[in-house]
Amino acid sequence: MKKCRHNLRVILPLLLILTLMPFALTGCAQTGNPADTSGRWVSIVMGILLLLAYLGLVIYLWRVGKLSAWFAAGSAAARLKVQGLRLKGELKGLERDKSDLLDELGEKAWEARVSDPSYEGAYNQLLTVQGQMDGATDHRRSLEEKKADLAQQRGAVVERFDQQIGALKSQQTEVDRSLSEANSRVRALETDLDATAQVKARYQREVKDTRSRIIELERSDDPNKDERLGELNSRLTTLTTSLLDATNAEPELAAQFPGLQNQALTLSTELNDLQGQIQALEADMKSELLPLDDQLEALEKQIKTKTSEIKSFGEQLAPMAKALGAQVEKARPLSPELTELYQKLDMILSKVDFKAEAKGDVASNLGAVDKTASLNFYVLLLIGVLIIVLAILLLTGVI
């Protein structure tokens, strides 16, 4: 009965405060007009009453010893929860380190081929995948060797045809140069023939003109007739000689023309024949390279397939080797390659055990804390914050 009365003395002031808060809010709503002086004083009085009521409650709780007990319980719970969260984070970090070390242990155990009867099944699975990977690697190597041989054969075919085609192209260049020279000589001969014909026509005109002048002069009564006739006859003789020379030169030049034309025609025919031979060789080379190129393409596809298989086996092998680490750690087979990792794992495991034990102690201590007292402390703290905020708003006239 005494305990019940004591609890009522603690709860009644709290109920009083909670009862006054709605009245305070109602009074604020009714007196929110800044021009209403009486309403302003009501707000101030309500704010002061709220603060005094809360202060009275705190003093009362302190006098009956509840405040210190609630504070101790609340602070202890907060401290233990923070400590528990910190230990949880540290344990997660240690577990990550442990997992990384186990992965490394599995990889090194597989790399060093450290076996043990306790994980014989997993080890044999790794051997199977590794055997498949090695087989695919050997197959790919043989395909690459075939590809290299075919590429060498192809290179020999290309080199052989290139030599023949190169020789024909060199000959073609020489023939083309000779043809250009022959065509140049033909054009030069045509020019000489045209020039000779023009000279001959000019001499013919001049001879005809000189003879006409001689005839006219013989019929005239020119006192210098004899002297001028001598000059004209002399000129006629010279022109006749030049005309004879031009007339004789023209057939000689014309006689060279057929030979030069035949030479140019022969060279042109030879040039076309060489081009035909080059095209035939290129067609033969293409025909000879076609099956080799088909085989090379097929080998390239097979090599890509085998490379994809090897990659797939490697992707299977890596996680399997890492997964072996947990079983190796349990068996602890003797191996110089694994000793250092064993030591690191032992350190990590001891830390994990220590942190886990500490976390368990924290959880145990947290369970021993008076949850009701802790909850009362935080409720009291929350109510205090709300009352202080509300009182400040009332006193300053914000609401």
Instruction: For 232-286, write each residue's pLDDT tens digit.
Output: 778 878 878 877 877 777 777 777 777 778 888 888 888 899 999 999 999 999 9
Q: What's the CA dihedral at 215, 216, 217, 219 to 10 degrees?
A: 90
Give 60-91 pLDDT, tens digit per residue: 778 777 777 777 777 777 887 888 888 888 88
Distances (CA, A) of 222 to 173, 209, 214, 216, 316: 71, 19, 12, 10, 130
Topology of the domain covering 146-324: Helix Hairpins (1.10.287)
| N- to C-terminal Cα separation, the chain | 44
Domain ranges of the chain: 9-97+375-396, 146-324
How many C-beta atoms surround the C-beta of residue 308 within 10 A?
A: 11
Percent with pLDDT over 90 in the chain = 27
Q: What is the pLDDT of residues 125-143, one digit of tens each?
A: 999 999 999 999 999 999 9
User: What per-residue confidence (pLDDT) applies to 38?
Assistant: 60
- Looking from the CA of 62 toward its CB, the CA atoms found within 13 Å total 6
Planar angle of CA 298, 304, 305, nearest 5 degrees: 90
Question: What is the pLDDT at residue 399?
Answer: 61
Question: Do 74 and 366 meet the contact criterion of CB atoms below 8 Å apart?
Answer: no
Determine the average pLDDT of the residues in 283-295: 94
